[in-house]
Amino acid sequence: MKKSNLLILMFAMTLASCGEQQMPDNMRSLATGYEMYSVHCENCHGAEGEGLARLIPPLKNSDFIKKYPDSIAGIIRHGQKGEILVNGIKYNLAMPSNSVLTDDELSQLVNYVKIRFGSVKQ
């Protein structure tokens, strides 16, 4: 991840943890994305997006996110079944769908995942 993105994320996480209301919109979006990641994704994909052995694919340095950034929202919303290739390793554990996230939260989560793990410019 680029240094500038890392700083933005760290700032957003700090603000999120402080419950800061007076933050710019892009910061608030990232802070919400971080919160959503902590609640809905971290248990399986890990705090650093490291995944779990050959069971759960990593998000950090994932070639899948770079290759298919437009598929992330659909996977989070509808889940993932069947084999998936990430960084040359085949994963096959089903990922559950998520109907709890609002459209805004989903969008902010996808944005956060892309910026943090997909090296997408802010």
Minimum gap (Å) between residue 50 Cβ and another protein: 9
Nearer to another protein, 74 or 79 (CB): 79
Give the H or E element holding residue 6.
helix 3-18
Instruction: Report the nearest approach of another protein to the CB of residue 42 (Å).
Output: 8
Considering beta carbons, is residue 54 or 78 the nearer one to another protein? 54
85, β-bridge pairs: 90
**If we measure between CA atoms, which residue out of 96, 119, 110, 92 comes closest to residue 30?**
110
Token pair listed for 16: 């999120």
Of 28 and 60, the one with the shorter C-beta distance to another protein is 60
Q: Count the Cβ atoms, other than its own, within 10 Å of residue 84.
A: 16
Give the interface with another protein as residue ranges (CB under 8 A). 43-44, 46, 52-56, 92-94, 96
